[in-house]
Structure 1
């Protein structure tokens, strides 16, 4: 752990004037190495170090973000994860990945989806819990995208010890949401999302292969 120390110069007149009393950061191993190196030289008296405070590392940031489809979660998640170095965890992507990998939770989820049923909360919660528990999430912090969506899901995550430092809710007027949704297109080759008005494809070749997702309609975007 890094520490903040006071440097006290050795009391020898033969040495050049020491620096003024100051504080600086160092590692414990570096200090021991310095002391050993100085002690082997008969012409130098090893300096003394006095620890005055220990610097506590800030815990990794934990964020949850929520918003309606086309509210801009993808853009905000990209900006936030890039700035803070967080692990971006999307519940939807996680569900698809678990199914593709054939994990136990993935197989259970696939059974429900093949029957046209919603995947039970307890299955998705376990997927999210397992991902949040992985080393990269614990060390770097995480940004949980689009989850939880209900109080029961939030309560379940809290029961496992996962609680955010910050919960972001993106609020966008309904008419703008509808415009964003109906103009949104997917590139099936790269997975990139375009918008016919705000973010059109770079080439005619890309434009020709774009598809519209089944739920990117005004009916799906409008609140019930």
Structure 2
């Protein structure tokens, strides 16, 4: 998610995928196990992901400022684990995007290993030939593996939504990113206004 969309609200951005890739880069035992599943286009086992996410959500900055959890939970068991540990989102944002568009977006993305910036060969190409020459592609960003991940996602998403139906907001993710972020900003602003009204009522 665009940094300004959560930074302006003071939220801590926590991406489950980034936590996993950090473990893989570190060569940890959990990282090795995670990589085996990711290479097959499978979801990483819950016992690995849940532990990492729980530890990050428990850190002081997340507790004090609130959090925006990106790419998690992806299954009912993960959502149940969050609830078990006392982590309940006030808002669940569901991005609706056609599958063909998702495949194109993922297969075309590239990483600059020097700056950590994400590019896309079509939608956000690198600024210079020098940057283009050093870009890398994630090992699991192939069409075959993306479609496997999406198949698993579709199987799990309804169960996850059943826990969050009262706080779910659907966002059209097939439009340009500025419009996507505008929709999310409206949802977050409405949530904060509702909280202020509730606090005002209690104070009165």
TM-score range, shorter chain: 0.5 to 0.7
Query: Residue in 2 aligned with 1:93?
Result: 18
Query: Residue in 2 aligned with 1:138?
Result: 63
Distance 1:100 1:188, change over 3 A: closer
Distance 1:172 1:158, change over 3 A: same
SS where residue 123 of structure 2 aligns?
Answer: coil
SS where residue 164 of structure 1 aligns?
Answer: coil
Question: What is the CA RMSD across the aligned residues, in angstroms?
Answer: 2.5
Query: Residue in 1 aligned with 2:75?
Result: 150
More helix by share: 2
Mapped to 1, the partners of 2:11 and 2:34 lie a distance apart of 30
SS where residue 8 of structure 2 aligns?
Answer: helix
Q: Which runs of 5+ in 2 are unaligned?
A: 38-42, 152-204
TM-score (norm 2): 0.61
Give the count of matched residue pairs: 144
Q: Which has the higher contact order (CA 8 A, sep 6+)?
A: 2
Query: Residue in 1 aligned with 2:107?
Result: 182
Q: 2:131 aligned with 1:201, yes or no?
A: no
Mapped to 2, the partners of 1:113 and 1:123 lie a distance apart of 8
Shift in Å, 1:101 = 6.7
The CA deviation string for residues 153-190 of structure 1, in whole angstroms up to 9 with x for no partner, is 11111011100000111111122222222322221222
TM-score (norm 1): 0.56
More strand by share: 1
Distance 1:221 1:136, change over 3 A: same
Q: Which runs of 5+ in 1 are unaligned?
A: 1-73
Shift in Å, 1:111 = 5.7
Distance 1:100 1:195, change over 3 A: closer
